[in-house]
A = this chain, B = another copy of it.
Amino acid sequence: MNTPNHPVTIKDIARKFKCSPSTVSRALSNHALINEDTRRNIQEYAQKVGYQRNSLSLGLRNSKSGTLGIIVPTISHFHETAMIEGLQSVLQSRGYIMSICVTNESYLLEKEYVEKLLANRVEGIFLSISQETYDSGHYEHLENVLQRQIPLIFIDREYDGVQTGSITVDDYLGAYAATEHLILRGCRRIAHLRGPNGLTVSERRFKGYKDCLEKYNIPYDENLVAYTNFKAESAVVPTRRLMSLPDPPDAIFGVNDYVSIAAMQVIIEMGFSIPTQVAVVGFDNAPFSAYFNPSLSSVNRSSKLIGEEAARLFLTRLDSNITQLDNIVLPPELIIRGSTLR
């Protein structure tokens, strides 16, 4: 019966109506061959006692769980949460539950999570691959996913070796545009607060920066490049060093907005003025960037859009059963604000 912690099952209802579980099941799913009266009675009763399908059982029977997996390296930045929001906003109505796994850039954790999600029979996986995975070149865990015909979609970070859908933003182009903007604005000694060595996202932005300098015949000066770990604090000391150079930079391109605002603070504290003496441009267009003083120019990645497009890709795969998914590269957009005004 309805003992406290035992949820009511189809069998309970069957017992109540002295009929078979199959009848109850069919009644609840509006099967055509069920008598109208019994159908109504059963449905009303089920409603009353708060019957709810056991997803586990359901999942076991048809190898589907009504769950989607999202694997990201972190959720502490605006970018990732915005992507998740985007996914959510599109998939909400389909009634999926989203399982979110955070890898901290670890290959092992990523592998474990993929396996666990597969064991949980998720109906799709959205993956932003970890740096370690990218470096290691181990993709067996992903091949596994595809082999099992589970839709796999790369969000933000892709890997060419695995043939599946992806939504990414061209980091290189974004960095190039930011640098070009600084150059066109008249800056010549452009510093770059880059991300950690080896991280794809750092390297691509660094390359965009470097290539743009070259394109405009501005000599690359490695003294003008400093390392950060993406966090604001990590930009303080490097910026202080840059601005203490005998010939300090007239512009700084930060690998993200956190780094850039920290740099701005240091620059101002040291008595330089922004944007007249030093121009600053960031990356990610975080929601706070427009409100800085001065407001921060930044490369927008439309993080939420990534999630939305990824969700749409997934739905396409589902609805049309197309297995060949698109690889969409979204264009970054430079937002010009006070920190780089002429």
List residues of A whose CB falls within 8 A of some B CB: 4-5, 7, 50, 52-57, 59-60, 65-67, 75-76, 81-82, 84-85, 88, 95, 97-102, 115-121, 144, 147-149, 232, 258, 261-262, 264-265, 268, 286-288, 290-293, 295
Bound-state CA distance A290–B98 (Å) is 33
Question: Cβ of B261 and Cβ of A291 under 8 Å apart?
Answer: yes
Tell me the minimal C-beta distance from A324 to chain B in angstroms.
17
| Copies of this chain, whole number | 2
Question: Cβ of A291 and Cβ of B268 under 8 Å apart?
Answer: no
Bound-state CA distance A148–B67 (Å) is 22
Question: Cβ of A97 and Cβ of B76 under 8 Å apart?
Answer: no
Bound-state CA distance A101–B106 (Å) is 25
Tell me the minimal C-beta distance from A237 to chain B in angstroms.
14
Q: Note all chain B residues with C-beta closer than 8 A to A291.
A: 232, 258, 261-262, 264-265
Question: Cβ of B88 and Cβ of A97 under 8 Å apart?
Answer: no
Answer whether A60 and B56 are a contact pair too, CB < 8 Å, given A81-B81, A98-B99, A286-B288.
yes
- Can you sample 21 A-B contacts with CB below 8 Å? A4-B147, A52-B118, A53-B119, A54-B119, A54-B121, A55-B120, A57-B60, A60-B60, A65-B120, A75-B84, A95-B116, A97-B117, A98-B99, A98-B101, A99-B100, A232-B290, A232-B291, A265-B291, A265-B292, A265-B293, A292-B293
Q: Note all chain B residues with C-beta closer than 8 A to A295.
A: 265
Q: Which residue of B lies closest to A120 (CB)?
A: B55
Tell me the minimal C-beta distance from A279 to chain B in angstroms.
16
> 8 extra interchain contacts, Cβ-Cβ under 8 A, other than A100-B100, A232-B287?
A5-B149, A54-B119, A55-B120, A56-B60, A88-B102, A232-B290, A262-B291, A286-B288
Q: Note all chain B residues with C-beta closer than 8 A to A65.
A: 56, 120
Question: Cβ of B268 and Cβ of A120 under 8 Å apart?
Answer: no
Answer whether A55 and B119 are a contact pair too, CB < 8 Å, given A67-B99, A76-B85, A293-B268.
yes
